[in-house]
Structure 1
């Protein structure tokens, strides 16, 4: 399949608050710029992406013994999906509101010199999320939505609430 050379963003989000935050961010971004995007989430696409990859969350919060196997499996699946996306599209960067499924694609994009933007959850006031801890080291731009999180992420940018 030939590569589509029109620049696109990869938006990665999860269900619940992650999706709501992406919905608000996407609305604000589309007010200012016209752009094409691909989405990767653990939910069905509701944002009319040109392509959507459904990817399950890499960990099971309720079954500790299952977590390492699930993490390895989902990481491999996400790696393969990301490589296929890069072959089919000219993706210039990633914007993510979490969850953990964003780590593998973000790492790949950074290794390829592409832009990675991460927005820590608005529900975080005093503790860093597991995804946030990794993404703080990976992302080109890291945003927090609560000023109290600047203690946990000193190089982050306070963006206010979405």
Structure 2
């Protein structure tokens, strides 16, 4: 097993950009930090190991999503287990996609740190993933102060 690493899970678009900004800040503070990643896009962030999973939902079909979400969640969970055999994962950080829910439950059961960052595009309502992760994560961050009314135990971090 290799050195300790952090698992990061993100999706395309804004989730990926938020993770890129977070990792840039973390690398400045701790240059020796290593991470592995799971996303529905190819790695552009410099992970030690990156696994691609299928996109969790079909944004163009309302009928495809109920079938794709369980499949994507299962694939992501299997990938987390594979990564756990090769790397000593100290915790998980996610910037939002639903594919992070099952791995977060798994790592909480394994007494690992789970950190969730609600999307910067949320001002008045929590995302579906955020509503689950609020109860799963050890630390739950919001990027807009108005979200503290929805998630009172969250920590306000400001925008990434």
Place the TM-score, normalised by the shorter chain, in its bin: over 0.9
Does the 8 A contact of 2:5 with 2:88 survive in 1?
yes
2:28 equivalent in structure 1: 31
CA distance, structure 2, for counterparts of residue 60 and residue 107 of structure 1: 24
What's the TM-score, normalizing by structure 2? Answer: 0.96
CA distance, structure 1, for counterparts of residue 4 and residue 15 of structure 2: 24
Any gaps of 5 or more consecutive residues in structure 2?
A: none
1:90-149, Cα deviation, whole Å (9 max, x unpaired): 000001101111111111000110000000000000011011011111100000000000
1:75 equivalent in structure 2: 73
| Count of aligned pairs | 159
1:9 equivalent in structure 2: 6
CA distance, structure 2, for counterparts of residue 43 and residue 74 of structure 1: 13
Any gaps of 5 or more consecutive residues in structure 1?
A: none
What's the TM-score, normalizing by structure 1? Answer: 0.95
1:144 equivalent in structure 2: 142
